[in-house]
Amino acid sequence: MNIVDDDKGVHRDVPPLGIVTIVAVFLLAGLGQIVSYITPFTLTALMKGYGLSQGRAAVAVSVEIGSLAVAMLFASRRVKTLNLRFAATAGTLVALAGQAITLMGTSYAGLLVARGACGLGTGFMIAVAYSVISRSPAPARLFTYQSAFLGFLVVLLFAFMPQLQALIGPAAQFLGLAIGLVIALPFALTIKQMPVPSENVELRASRKSSMFWLVVICVVLFGSGSNALWLHFETMGELRGVTFSGLAITTIVSAGTMMLAPAVSLAAFRHVGGFRPIIIGNIIQMIVIAADLLIDSAPLFIASALVLNFIIAVQLVYARILAADMDSSGSMASGVGGADFAGTFVGPLIGGLFIVHATENQWFVAAILSALLTSIIVAIGSGRILSGEKSDGRLTIGSPNTAL
């Protein structure tokens, strides 16, 4: 039995990670995760730098995000036997090749292949990083620090990317990511094969497989609902009278809250636990989204954007922490990451089905709220499974409160 004293999410039976490994994990995960946050810049770069229409650029972005989600979900089911160093190195090289082909310029078909390669490569990079974090002595804290580092990267990009694109050109972000991948490559080579520590939540094998897919579905649903709304962020802001500079400031402030969200996630894990934080987060999202879409108000729109971005950031970090506590191999945490990107892929497709106006959006509201409500139902069912394991005496000392 793995005994955890007063600190939840700690594995006592594994050695600490070295500083080089921690840097490697932060780089691999950060360079991969940043893809979904710079989508607006990617669309702009593809339209201005490659002469693509908005529709064709959106397809290229969707190919990258979709490939990333597929790669992570594929890797998550095989991460227990995956050669971590090989997967990290190969993923970095494939992503670097994709960025290089994009920078050199190619046909539209070649561009789709290049963006797909970037997605596949970064998917394996993130999967390896999540696996290493899940097998570390304190995955909850390390996920918290890594997520705060990601928030810092997002703030830097949103603050300086427009200036870099104006100075270097529309392809500045592709060049920046390529340089980042070159820097990350030697660190990827330092990744070592790590043993899988004993888990804080000991689930039966059959229960663990079911829990994996339930958690993935839960994250896909609330991610889809949230991302469907962000597709129309600029349009709805303009309809409510928010200036472009106001939208830009809101975006940067929202990115800044990502550095604070991981601390809230860790506190929720330690003091609440189980699926309740995810359920509460979905309920808050439903209330805020309904109010935002049904009430025509510029201040409410800005406040809603800030609250929603913060809640989503908290939920995603919390889901990774909880997954690492239930499965120390990294399989479930990688599945959560893949589900996050799947939501990023599916959400805009949902949003694209609706023409959103200030007063004609009832079906759009219903679609988003239905996704979040279904996510709540799945989370409740997942909590019931964990509660059943607890009653059977399957949970070890120090596991979080898994009752609803």
Q: Is 201 helix (H, G, I), strand (E, B) or coil?
A: strand
Same domain, 281 and 229: yes
* 156/150 Cα distance (integer angstroms): 10
Q: Residues in the chain with pLDDT < 70?
A: 1-14, 198-207, 230-232, 234-235, 351-362, 388-404
**Res 8: pLDDT:** 60
In this structure, is residue 358 part of a structural domain?
yes
Same domain, 222 and 287: yes
* 382/325 Cα distance (integer angstroms): 14
* Centroid of chain to Cα 357: 28
In this structure, is residue 109 part of a structural domain?
yes
Q: Is 181 helix (H, G, I), strand (E, B) or coil?
A: helix
CATH number (domain holding residue 250): 1.20.1250.20
Residue 357 has φ and ψ, to the nearest 5°, of: -125, 170
**Res 394: pLDDT:** 42
Same domain, 243 and 386: yes
Q: Are 335 and 73 in contact (CB under 8 A)?
A: yes
Tokens standing for residue 204: 């039966």
Residue bearing tokens 């409160």: 401
In this structure, is residue 82 part of a structural domain?
yes
Write out the residue range of the structural domain in which residue 325 sits: 205-391
Q: Are 214 and 381 in contact (CB under 8 A)?
A: yes
In this structure, is residue 10 part of a structural domain?
no
Same domain, 290 and 351: yes
**Res 182: pLDDT:** 96
Tokens standing for residue 350: 């949902």
In this structure, is residue 7 part of a structural domain?
no
Tokens standing for residue 152: 């810092």
In this structure, is residue 194 part of a structural domain?
no
Other C-beta atoms lying within 10 Å of the C-beta of residue 349: 13
Same domain, 118 and 223: no
Same domain, 235 and 332: yes
* 131/331 Cα distance (integer angstroms): 7
Question: Number of structural domains, the chain?
Answer: 2
Last residue of a domain, one of 188, 220, 251: 188
In degrees, rounded to 5, the angle at the alpha carbon of residue 164 between the alpha carbons of residues 45 and 303 is 80
* 83/244 Cα distance (integer angstroms): 47
